[in-house]
Amino acid sequence: MSWRLTAFSASNTEAQAVALAAPILAGADASLAEASTRINGVSLAYSPNPLATQASEASAVRETYQALMRYEGQILCVHPFQEGVGDGSGLYRYLSAPNAAARLAAKLTDAQDTGRPRGQLDAVSVLIVARDLASFAERLEAFNAIFPTPELQLAQRRAAQLATLEQEKFILPDAPLTPPWVARDGVQIPRLAQHGRAVGAQLATAQGYAAETLSPVAELQAVIERKRQSLQQLQRHYEQLKGQLSGQAGYALYAQDDASTVAAQIKTPGAPGHEYVLTAGALFVADAGRLTFLKEIFGL
């Protein structure tokens, strides 16, 4: 075969597709008029849903549940990579569990901090502890999956990068040859994409008439089946979310009083010791009685 002169032309496949849809679209007006006539001749009878009375209570319960979730509070985070918090120098910094708890407590009573919480408080304190960088990044990732917190997400990424550096700093990768391969799809070409949308719209409209051959009873049965599947999917989704809230979240503590009393409770013995050299802490605070939802999530 040899090179030859060529020019742009419409696709034969495109022409065949349009030809297939044309007679179906041409008969659409008559079909719609006939459908309107059939609808006007249908007699409808209405029966109320027997679940309506029982379901009316769901609205009040939903409002109560959402009120628990809409707490207005503050969160304080500490981790080894914050300036003046962690020990060590350079890339590698450390913060033991007792020191993290002490810093959380100290911030509650910091007289120079004008934004510190005051009055009667609910407080949930969490310590995420580890002995090495890889485990620290993994546990921070699990915590951030439920409570995404910018400060702890930064700590997670830095711990993961340092763990990777330890494993791969002696690897010298080879570069591929140039130029690179570039992925290309026909729909990325604007003119062809316009043709594809135009032909696709005609075929989709024509294809839609195939679904109108069902009887009204069959269509209603299909609606019922879709609703049944939707209810099953709703339940599966809830069960999956419950599964995501299972497992260890670290060491947690609940306290309820003024800031100085809460700070004293955070520093009481019983927290993990200095053997955990990498620790991140999160302290949730809100007005008294507003952290019930978080308290239940952490099993406190």
Q: Collapsing DSSP states into helix, strand and coil, what is residue 33?
A: helix
Structural domain boundaries of the chain?
A: 64-167+250-297
CB atoms within 10 A of CB 49: 8
**38-94: per-residue pLDDT in tens?**
777 766 666 777 667 667 777 777 777 777 777 778 888 999 998 888 888 777 889
pLDDT at residue 78 in the model: 92
Strands (E), 61-162: 73-78, 87-89, 92-94, 121-130
pLDDT, tens digit, 9 for 90 and up, residues 264-295? 888 887 778 888 899 999 888 888 878 888 88
Q: How far apart are CA 167 and CA 34, in angstroms?
A: 72
Strand partners, 252: 126
Q: Say whether pTM exceeds 0.75.
A: no
Residue 241: beta bridge partners? Answer: none
Distance from C-alpha of 13 to C-alpha of 35, rounded to nearest angstrom: 33
